[in-house]
Amino acid sequence: DTAVSQTPKYLVTQMGNDKSIKCEQNLGHDTMYWYKQDSKKFLKIMFSYNNKELIINETVPNRFSPKSPDKAHLNLHINSLELGDSAVYFCASSQYGRTSGTDEQYFGPGTRLTVT
């Protein structure tokens, strides 16, 4: 019973392509997130969605667009992939969306994206 799942686990693609990473949570949480972890393991939040509304949008290129068909899914679509997009992307979810000690974020296993 995976709480937060992502597909694919690995994604290798060429520069200029458009790709999507899917995320699903079966926890009934209200908020989902996308994080990017670069080659130096630095983890940075990209987006969060609460009830289909974007509530956090950090300074990421507009080539990245989160799409949430329903509360249980938050997909990440990336247009015109660049070499610098190579990273591990983590999806996460939490019950309420405003992080507090009791509002734990549950992370997916990550998607390793390699752009060649």
Partner 1 sequence: GEDVEQSLFLSVREGDSSVINCTYTDSSSTYLYWYKQEPGAGLQLLTYIFSNMDMKQDQRLTVLLNKKDKHLSLRIADTQTGDSAIYFCAEIKGSQGNLIFGKGTKLSVKP
Binding residues for partner 1 (CB under 8 A) = 4, 40-45, 55-56, 58, 90, 92, 97-101, 104-110
CB-based burial, 42-76: b 16+ in 10 Å, e otherwise:
eeebbbbbbeeeeeeeeebeeebebebeebeebbb
Residues 6+ apart with CB under 8 A from 66: 34, 46, 47, 49, 54, 74, 75, 76, 77
Kindly tell me which of 2 and 79 has the beta carbon lying closer to partner 1: 2
Beta carbon nearer to partner 1, 56 or 72: 56
Instruction: Compute the least distance from the CB of residue 1 to partner 1, in Å.
Output: 15
Closest separation in Å from C-beta 21 to partner 1:
13
CB of residue 60 vs partner 1: minimum separation in angstroms? 13
Nearer to partner 1, 82 or 104 (CB): 104
Q: Minimal distance in Å, beta carbon 47 to partner 1?
A: 11
